[in-house]
Amino acid sequence: MFNKILIANRGEIAVRVIKTCRRLGIATVVVYSDADADSLAVEMADEAVHIGASPAAQSYLVADKIIEACKRTVAQAVHPGFGFLSEKAEFAQRCADEGIVFIGPNPGAISAMGDKIESKKFAAAAGVSCVPGHIGEIADTAEALTVSETIGYPVMIKASAGGGGKGIRVAWSRQDVEEGFPAVRAEAAGAFGDDRIFIEKFIESPRHIEIQVLGDKHGNVVHLFERECSIQRRNQKVIEEAPSPLLDPQTRAAMGAQAVALAKAVNYDSAGTVEFVAGQDKSFYFLEMNTRLQVEHPVTELITGLDLVEQMIRSAYGEPLAFGQDDLAINGWAIESRIYAEDPYRKFLPSIGRLVRYAPPAEGEKGAYTVRNDAGVREGDEISMFYDPMISKLCTWAPTRIEAVQGMARALEDFHIEGPGHNVPFLAAVMDQDRFVAGALATSYIKDEFPDGFSGTEPTAFQADLLTAVGCAMQRIQAQRLGRARADWTVVVGHGKQRVHLSGEGQSLTVDLLDEGRSLSLTDIAWRPGLPTFRGVLGGTAFTAEVAPAPEGFVIRHRAAKARVLVLTARSAELHDKLPAKAPADTSKLVLSPMPGLVVSMDVAVGQQVREGEVVCVLEAMKMQNILRAERDAVVKTVNARPGDPVAADQVLVEFQ
Ligand code: ADP
Ligand code: ADP
Ligand code: MG
């Protein structure tokens, strides 16, 4: 076996590869940029080599620097992780030329599958069912229109070199193609340095189902079943699971056989993924093949018991697969939630900054389910603007899907993050939706279920009780410390108000709801003033809530339900009623920076009349350009930032009259 491997990546996946190498007794080297000098991966690896400045183009994407680091540390092989150089055939070839083993497929397989147009030609030849469309490069808008009309609307305009949800656009009409074709082409040229575009049928409301394949250098290929990744936002995966609730054994076998046939057709010799879109009727069509380890590989590991990184290392070393298709079976159900540094309450805008608190749920068996959390960060680390905004990948496994879903909902309760905005409340909302529980998935799920974005959910009956009980318990614990414990209070939750009587001692509290004539029993209370999480058992159900002090009371969040809870004396409750409701500050005349970033362009000047929807300025943050538009017709009063200026979150960029 290899005795030293270099990892040409960062963050979560670098840590993931190190863990397997350690288990196999292989020494590790990581490369790192300026921004990652103090990262967890650098701390864990046996050796670390600095390769340049923070932007990936000056560090993780520079093949020369990676090769040089291998030579310097005498590493025999390179694991590329995902993203960066992982799907660059030239890099795999360069490694081979330098006598370094690339832990991934051979360069021929990467180039055959690395391009969506070329891979569709291969797939069609291998008998794989493809999305109806035009398998070939489209020259100009006129041809795009002819092709679209032949296929029939809606169609999808795609960059052949696209990836990560970029370079994709749906067109429903002639006009959409006229606008979309040049736009996708420009985006592709900018993002991938390759402006070849093709067009295929847009399958409406499909599901994304992909097959994991694994090959060796001796011509063997097996598939490790499917993953369903239909919960997506802007064509990027957010929640994945294995197996898929849609498939039956026949469809699974048919998709698996096609994926293996395609892999064999290109002499595939590592881990890879064949992606399909599937209709609700279980029809399925090939999308593309990803010639690398996939972000969501943990769910496959959880249902097969295999370590995919280990399998990649073994096949790269030349070992034949130690099992055949018949040795493989699906065991239980696994779900992955991608925890992103983005603010769901603010249209999912990227949110970067220091992880002031980072407390994931403990990994391991939790009774009915098992928790796994793949992360590359520690408390105190910075989510920087240079790379992907993923904080971690939280997975749960259980014998059945419903237990895995409930386990995920519970594990998300126990995930506490402070600092950057994060999508944990949003993920919790999805886990609690009947449609998700029923497995009625589609790539349009988030758009269907959250048409106006996300603003939290209304408390369920259980959550309303929880908010009341937790507020009372916190108030009682604080009052007891001051020696002023009293029994009778008025609790205000949102717009509701009720009188309560508290009793109990130690870790238990009984809350008599005097107006309703029933009682709540809160036991196993684990909280003290200053703690951001409150654990307890309410009426037999264990929970964790996130709590923070607020004027006159607390803000309490359980899953996606969040409310201000006030526990007042009868007298203050009366006064509270008389207080005029405080109007929120009027920000309608301001254009605020939604996140820290860099001003790319300022598109308005003082005195200018702007129309609703017009571009006011463009901000760059987290590798993305964010266009800020006027929310109404207005005249510009002041302009407070210029191109090149760094700006903070909520900074006023433009003021209207
Ligand atoms: P996967 O296909 O492995 O499930 P994604 O589709 O989310 O994962 O991402 C595909 C690849 O593109 C990953 O290797 C990821 O690191 C990278 N990637 C994700 N988002 C972006 C982005 N905005 N720009 C460039 N690369 C990205
Ligand atoms: P990427 O390289 O960015 O992963 P893909 O071609 O795999 O691009 O597509 C990403 C996502 O876009 C898919 O998971 C699916 O949700 C959607 N998509 C792609 N092609 C189609 C299509 N023809 N019809 C409907 N949805 C599609
Ligand atoms: Mg894809």
pLDDT digits (tens, 9 = 90+) for 156-185: 999 999 988 889 999 999 999 999 999 999
What does the pLDDT read at residue 650?
Answer: 78
Using 50, 70 and 90 to split pLDDT, how confident is the model at 623?
Answer: low
Q: Which ligand is nearest to the CA of 13?
A: 1
User: Which tens digit of pLDDT belongs to each residue from 456-503?
Assistant: 999 999 999 999 999 999 999 998 888 878 899 999 998 889 999 999
- Distance separating alpha carbons of residues 585 and 574, to the nearest angstrom: 25
The separation between CA 618 and the C-alpha centre of its own chain, rounded to angstroms, equals 24
pLDDT of residue 630: 82
Nearest ligand, CA of residue 227?
A: 1
Residue 332 is predicted with a pLDDT of 98
Ligand 2 neighbour 230 (Cβ under 6 A): no
Q: What secondary structure letter does DSSP report for 496?
A: E
Which class is 590-656 in CATH?
A: mainly beta
Domain boundaries, the chain: 4-103, 132-201, 338-425, 461-577, 590-656
Ligand 1 nearest-atom number relative to CA 165: 6
Ligand 1 atom at shortest distance from the alpha carbon of 86: 14
- Region 204-211: what's the mean pLDDT? 95
Buried b (16+ CB within 10 A) or exposed e, 266-296: bebbbbbbbbbbbeeebebbbbbbbbbbbbb
Q: Best substitution site from 287, 289, 388 to test ligand 2's pocket, by max atoms within 8 Å of Cβ? A: 287
4-103 is a CATH 3.30.565.10 domain: no
Task: Give yes or no for residue 584 having a pLDDT over 70.
Answer: no
**Mutation test residue for ligand 1: of 236, 238, 277, the one with most atoms within 8 Å of CB:** 236
pLDDT at 86: 97
Architecture of the domain whose range is 461-577:
2-Layer Sandwich (3.30)
The percent of residues above 90 in pLDDT, for the chain, comes to 82
Instruction: Report whether pLDDT(582) > 70.
Output: no
User: What is the predicted pLDDT for the residue at 597?
Assistant: 81
Residue 178 bears catalytic tag: no
Q: What is the rounded radius of gyration, in angstroms, for the C-alpha atoms of the chain?
A: 27
CA–centroid distance, 216 to ligand 3, in Å, is 23
Distance 82 CA to ligand 1 centre (A): 8
The ligand with the least distance to the CA atom of 204 is 2
Binning pLDDT at 50, 70 and 90, where does residue 625 land? confident
Q: Which spans in 160-273 are helix H?
A: 174-192, 249-265
**In this predicted model, what pLDDT tens digit does every residue of 125-164 receive, in sequence order?**
999 999 999 889 999 999 999 999 999 999 999 999 998 8
Find out whether 565 and 511 touch, Cβ atoms under 8 Å.
no
pLDDT at 644: 87
Contact in structure between 454 and 446 (CB atoms under 8 Å): no
Q: How far apart are CA 445 and CA 408, in angstroms?
A: 18
Residue ID of nearest Cα to ligand 2 atom 12? 235
Annotated catalytic residue, options 288, 296, 301, 546: 288
Give mean pLDDT, residues 287-299. Answer: 97
CATH topology agreement for domains 4-103 and 590-656: no
Beta-carbon contacts of residue 480 (< 8 Å; ≥ 6 apart): none
Would you say how long the chain is, in residues? Answer: 657
Q: Which of 190-194, 293-297, 629-633 has the highest mean pLDDT?
A: 293-297
Ligand 1 atom closest to Cα of 296? 4
Q: What is the mean pLDDT of residues 645-653?
A: 84
162 in ligand 2 pocket by Cβ < 6 Å?
yes
The CA 364 to ligand 1 mean position distance, Å, reads 28
| Gap from CA of 164 to ligand 3 centroid (Å) | 7
- Quick check: CB of 206 below 6 Å from ligand 2? yes
* 336: Cα within 13 Å, side-chain hemisphere: 30
Answer yes or no: are the C-beta atoms of 621 and 561 closer than 8 Å.
no
**Mean pLDDT confidence for 353-362:** 96
How does the average pLDDT of the chain come out, rounded?
94
Architecture of domain 132-201: 2-Layer Sandwich (3.30)
382-397: buried (b, 16+ CB within 10 Å) or exposed (e) per residue? Answer: bbbbbbbbbbbbbbbb
Cα 5 from Cα 27, distance rounded (Å): 6
pLDDT at 583: 62
Give the pLDDT of residue 416: 98
Tens-place pLDDT, residues 303-318? 999 999 999 999 999 9
Average pLDDT over residues 390-414: 98
Counts for the chain of helices (H) and strands (E), in that order = 17, 40
Structure tokens of 57?
């183009």
pLDDT tens, 228-264? 999 999 899 999 999 999 999 999 999 999 999 999 9
Q: Which residues line ligand 1 (CB under 6 A)?
A: 82-83, 163-164, 166, 236-237, 290, 294-296, 388, 623
Ligand minimally distant from the alpha carbon of residue 286: 2
Read off the pLDDT of each residue in 507-533 and give the average, rounded to a whole number: 96
The minimum-distance atom of ligand 1 relative to the CA of 81 is 14
Handedness of CA 484, 486, 490, 493 (dihedral sign): positive
Give the nearest ligand 1 atom to 293 CA.
Answer: 3
| DSSP string for 54-96 | SSGGGTTT-HHHHHHHHHHHT-SEEE--SSTTTT-HHHHHHHH
What's the pLDDT at 494? 83
| Protein residue closest via CA to atom 13 of ligand 2 | 235
Long-range contacts of 298-301 (CB under 8 A, 24+ apart): 298/334, 298/336, 298/372, 298/374, 298/393, 298/395, 299/227, 299/240, 299/241, 299/242, 299/334, 299/335, 299/336, 299/395, 300/212, 300/224, 300/225, 300/227, 300/242, 300/334
CA 469 – CA 474 distance, rounded (Å)? 9
Whether residue 393 contacts residue 408, with contact meaning beta carbons closer than 8 Å, is answered with: no
Give the mean model confidence (pLDDT) for residues 111-123: 93
